[in-house]
Amino acid sequence: MEEIKYSAENLYQESTQNYDNRIENLFIAARNARDASDSETALKHYEAISAIKPDSWEALFYLTLLKTDKITNGEISNAAVSITNCIPKVFQLINTTIANEENKKAAVQEVVDQCTEKATWLTSVNCNFYKVLTKNDLSFDILSIASNLDSKRKFTYEFAEREAEIGNILSCCGDTIELIFGLNDKFYQTHAVEAWKFMLLYIHFKCIETVKVGVYDEEFVDKYFTKIKRFDSFFELPDIKPTEKRNYNTKAIIIILAALAIGIFCALWYWFAFSY
């Protein structure tokens, strides 16, 4: 009986070892594919990992992140929202499945770094999309000019709305770190604060510099400014304000008045020229 028991234990150990080896090999293959910028292959490996190990934070995170690598312009907002929505679950899994504190911190840093990189890339895609939509139109009739101004204003606000969704990736990173890990540890504090700073400086204020429109309202900006100042007393916001709406309305009024003046002048000239 002891010999049979021994054999059964060996079989169990071999099965467990084979399982662990298979998981490890899948992780290695997925990471190698990511390093080679082969998102399709990486996705296949992470799908296999997720099926075997559903509590893998890495599989959950990269299954979401890598699916945004080949988005179209119209999918920018949806891509940002999908990343934001997965962040709380990813951090929760990191906290509950990784016992070693250094490994836990390494995982948190990886997520924040990848989210920052993806937000930067999505912003670049968004800026290029905006440039395509707002190419200069050479039409000179008043109706076309007014229509083009209205369209540009619409595209500008849509650009800002997409930037808001992109910025939410970083605000969610910081907020979730604060919620799950707390900010007493300098490591978690630094990564949360840097995520909030990136969201304000390189999303909100960069948008104002680019298209004169803010991404977030003043209450939202003040909220995160206050959170950052708790840990970085030297942090200050740029002294720039959104002005696009006022500027565009001014331009539209000037163009309409100029058109009316030209129209009146032409009408008077025609009346004087042909009435005698």
- 276 pLDDT band, cuts 50/70/90, is low
Task: Indicate the number of domains in the chain.
Answer: 1
> In this predicted model, which residue has the larger pLDDT, 136 or 164?
164
* Digit-coded pLDDT (tens) for 35-88: 999 999 999 999 999 999 999 999 999 999 999 998 988 899 999 999 999 999
% of the chain exceeding 90 in pLDDT: 59
The yes-or-no verdict on residue 23 having pLDDT over 50 is yes
Q: Report the distance separating Cα 130 and Cα 145, nearest Å.
A: 18
pTM over 0.95: no
Task: Over range 234-253, report the average pLDDT.
Answer: 65
Q: Report the distance separating Cα 231 and Cα 118, nearest Å.
A: 25
- Mean pLDDT, the chain, rounded, equals 83
* Digit-coded pLDDT (tens) for 112-159: 999 999 999 999 999 989 888 887 544 444 444 445 556 778 888 899
Task: Over range 165-192, report the average pLDDT.
Answer: 97
pLDDT reported for residue 149: 55
Do residues 212 and 242 make contact, with C-beta atoms less than 8 angstroms apart?
Answer: yes
% of the chain exceeding 70 in pLDDT: 75
The yes-or-no verdict on residue 9 having pLDDT over 50 is no
Q: Give the domain range for residue 251.
A: 2-274
